[in-house]
């Protein structure tokens, strides 16, 4: 274990390195780094330079993931197993410097604090090529390759310029035919993702670190209320079939349902009224619905309730309503064994363990389909993320490094008999 002063310096270096990677962007004066864009190559080159002095070998797999391996104490390929840590290197437009990136840089710092000491298992740090879904409208391209769910449909998806995922991979100098080789096997012991919380829960609770016990399930729907467009000045209120008024009533029902259902998050994020003129009663209103809950039964019950509410409102107002499922993602519990060890390590780092649920999707939810997975959240000052104002506290990073070291020590003991 390193001295506290060294960990403090290490935390400062982590933050500085995140800021360094922020310079590799597709936009001048703002951060935007999408799947296999030219700045991603610069990012890979910079990070590979950091890990080489640590005795780490690095490569880029066929899905564009940066794979870095710190060897085990016993380098027998037939017996060595791996523990993976990592997160994503891509960003949203006008991003902050820490979402995803911190989860790659912090594990590299952990390798540095080992000072060459090897554990019973190898440690692989992965910088996932894509998680945000910005370029191709499909998230988790990087982690999907590791779990073997990278399919032909994904390869054929095109960006706004008509470039397919397949062509983007080839243009980057990689071979799409080799994507199956990126899949992890039975030698992987587990996966851990460090990530900023991206919300205000830890800050409001006065906690530096959070132990994620589950990632919420998500339902995304599209609703369209259809009435009759008509003149705003000549149509009496009692003879109107106003689609936007119906949508407004339904939005209130959405908010009320969320407020009366513990743990439910419900958002109507987009609304479009047609024909969209100030002096025309809207004949059509299109809305999105995003529902999230850690319990799939509760989430599905809320969906059913809001579908019925939309139908009742439409019927009472003499309208029709159409609905379409966009996404239905089950809740993903984190591995109890790893969660308990993360919780124990948080306590050893001098923090009171705090279990919480992630309201956003992460690579850990994809990895959990293949290997035991866990997440640790770091407090996000102001709860601000996906914005240039996104930040992290150096003291929290120091605590996370300390926690990570304790966790590796614990896992070395727990996994030694398996290697």
238 and 352 both lie in a single domain: no
160 and 14 both lie in a single domain: yes
Number of C-beta neighbours around residue 137 at 10 A = 10
Residue 168's pLDDT band (cuts 50, 70, 90): very high
Tell me the three state secondary structure of residue 341: helix
User: Which residue among 329, 357, 375 closes a domain?
Assistant: 329
Structural domain of 324: 217-329
85 and 131 both lie in a single domain: yes
23 and 127 both lie in a single domain: yes
Give the count of domains, the chain.
2
176 and 86 both lie in a single domain: yes
User: Which residue among 273, 300, 329 closes a domain?
Assistant: 329
Residue 326's pLDDT band (cuts 50, 70, 90): confident
Sign for the CA dihedral angle at 359, 361, 366, 367 comes to: negative
As to burial, measured by CB atoms within 10 angstroms (0-12 exposed, 13-18 middle, 19+ buried), residue 29 is exposed
190 and 233 both lie in a single domain: no
Report DSSP letters for 146-157, one per residue: HHT---HHHHH-
Mean per-residue pLDDT, 348-355: 95
| pLDDT higher than threshold 80 for residue 78 | no
DSSP β-ladder status, 373-378 and 188-196: parallel
Is 0.85 topped by the overall pTM? yes
1 Cβ neighbours under 8 A, 6+ residues apart: 405
Cα–Cα distance for residue pair 242/281, rounded to 1 Å: 6
Cα–Cα distance for residue pair 377/110, rounded to 1 Å: 16
Q: Which long-range contacts (CB under 8 A, 24 or more apart) does 165-170 make?
A: 165/35, 165/136, 165/138, 165/141, 168/35, 168/36, 168/135, 169/36, 169/62, 169/63, 169/64
Sign for the CA dihedral angle at 138, 141, 143, 147 comes to: positive
322 and 383 both lie in a single domain: no
Return the percentage of the chain with pLDDT > 70, whole number.
Answer: 97
269 and 383 both lie in a single domain: no
User: Which residue among 293, 310, 329 closes a domain?
Assistant: 329
pLDDT of residue 2: 40
Mean per-residue pLDDT, 306-328: 96
Mean per-residue pLDDT, 381-385: 96
pLDDT of residue 418: 54
Helix 38-51 and helix 4-21: axis angle, to 10°? 160
313 and 290 both lie in a single domain: yes
Residue 329's pLDDT band (cuts 50, 70, 90): confident
| pLDDT higher than threshold 70 for residue 348 | yes
Q: In this predicted model, what pLDDT tens digit does every residue of 229-250 receive, in sequence order?
A: 999 999 999 999 999 999 999 9
Angle (nearest 5°) at CA 21 between 395 and 147:
90
58 and 207 both lie in a single domain: yes
136 and 81 both lie in a single domain: yes
- Output the domain CATH number for residue 247: 3.30.70.360
Cα–Cα distance for residue pair 361/367, rounded to 1 Å: 12
């Amino acid at each position: 274990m390193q001295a506290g002063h060294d960990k403090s310096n290490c935390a400062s270096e982590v933050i500085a390195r995140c800021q360094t990677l922020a310079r590799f962007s597709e936009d001048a004066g703002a951060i935007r780094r999408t799947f296999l864009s030219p700045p991603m190559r610069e990012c890979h080159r910079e990070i590979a330079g950091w890990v080489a002095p640590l005795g780490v070998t690095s490569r880029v797999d066929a899905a564009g993931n940066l794979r870095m391996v710190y060897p085990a104490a016993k380098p027998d390929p037939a017996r060595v197993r791996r523990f993976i840590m990592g997160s994503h290197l891509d960003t949203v437009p006008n991003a902050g410097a820490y979402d995803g990136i911190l989860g790659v840089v912090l594990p590299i710092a952990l390798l540095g604090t080992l000072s060459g000491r090897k554990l019973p298992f190898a440690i692989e740090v992965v910088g996932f090529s894509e998680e945000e879904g910005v370029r191709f409208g499909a998230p988790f391209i990087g982690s999907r390759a590791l779990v073997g769910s990278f399919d032909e449909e994904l390869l054929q998806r095109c960006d706004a310029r008509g470039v397919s995922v397949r062509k983007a991979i080839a243009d980057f100098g990689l071979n799409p035919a080799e994507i199956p080789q990126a899949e992890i096997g039975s030698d992987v012991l587990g996966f851990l993702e460090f990530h900023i919380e991206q919300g205000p829960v830890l800050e409001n609770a006065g906690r530096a670190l959070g132990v994620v016990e589950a990632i919420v399930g998500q339902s995304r729907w599209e609703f369209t209320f259809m009435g009759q467009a008509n003149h705003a000045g000549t149509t009496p209120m009692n003879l109107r079939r106003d689609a936007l008024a119906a949508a407004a009533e339904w939005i209130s029902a959405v908010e009320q349902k969320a407020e009366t259902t513990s743990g439910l998050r419900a958002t109507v994020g987009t609304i479009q009224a047609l024909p969209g003129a100030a002096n025309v009663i809207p004949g059509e209103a299109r809305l999105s619905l995003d529902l999230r809950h850690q319990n799939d039964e509760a989430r599905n019950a809320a969906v059913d309730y809001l579908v019925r509410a939309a139908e009742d409102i439409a019927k009472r107002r003499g309208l029709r309503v159409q609905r379409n499922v966009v996404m239905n993602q089950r809740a993903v519990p984190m591995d109890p064994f790893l969660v308990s060890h993360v919780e124990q390590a948080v306590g050893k780092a001098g923090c009171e363990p705090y279990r919480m649920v992630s309201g956003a999707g992460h690579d850990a939810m994809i990895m959990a389909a293949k290997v035991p997975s866990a997440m640790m959240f770091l407090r996000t000052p102001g709860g601000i993320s996906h914005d240039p104002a996104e930040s992290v506290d150096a003291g929290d990073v120091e605590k996370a490094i300390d926690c990570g070291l304790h966790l590796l020590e614990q896992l070395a003991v727990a996994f030694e008999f398996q290697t």
